[in-house]
Amino acid sequence: MTDRSILITGGFGVLGRAVAHAAHTAGYRVALVDRAPKPADLAADVLAFADVDLTDPEDAAATVAKVVDALGGLDVLVNVAGGFLWQTLEDGHSGAWELMHRLNLSTCLNTSRAALPHLKASPAGRIVNIGANAAVKAGAGMGAYAASKAGVHRLTESLAEETKGSGVTVNAVLPSILDTPANRADMPDADPRKWVAPADLAHVILFLASPEAQAITGALIPVTGLV
């Protein structure tokens, strides 16, 4: 068991909830932040902030300050917030690229910047970002999404270099397809046994969030299941 505090963005979604469950079970003081309304079935001792726009730097900073005040500090930030869109360049619209940039990269950037001073005050501050295996080599229709996640990868590497010697590590996990209800509905003929279970990915994230992972920073770690 631990007595560390963790902030999870995109905390009301499938992966966010999986990370929250694993962290809560391990004894973390947990805060969830999301743009969506607060779910009714959260544990009573899990702090939740709904209707937060992390693409807005001021909203991100204000929310992080509230979390730090409520938890008495911050040890770990997990940047789950993001979105996905598939479209070809020929048939799509240019706004998709800006949308993916805002949802996947700006949310990560704004929250990390706001959290960094508090993480530096922790004995073992950690940032874990959610990148994407699809951003290593983009397929057809994946350009906007992959470009935004590639930005998360470069942010992870750059911030890891900035924070060396501070006690803060910055890493990213690069999952392939997650086994979620939405993905099962979108790909009914696929075999979800070959996908990544959110709980399995959560365990990797929590290891990177732990003091034991102090020697790992700037890493982009593929978590691709059996695909």
Question: Catalytic amino acids?
Answer: 145
Among all chains, which residue has been given the structure tokens 């992972």?
Answer: 213
Proportion of the chain in helix, strand, coil states, percent, rounded to 5: 45, 15, 40
Contact (Cβ atoms closer than 8 angstroms) between residue 177 and residue 183: yes
* Residue 217 near residue 170 (C-beta atoms within 8 A): yes
Question: Cα(7)–Cα(77) distance, rounded to whole angstroms?
Answer: 5
Separation of alpha carbons 121 and 206, rounded Å = 20
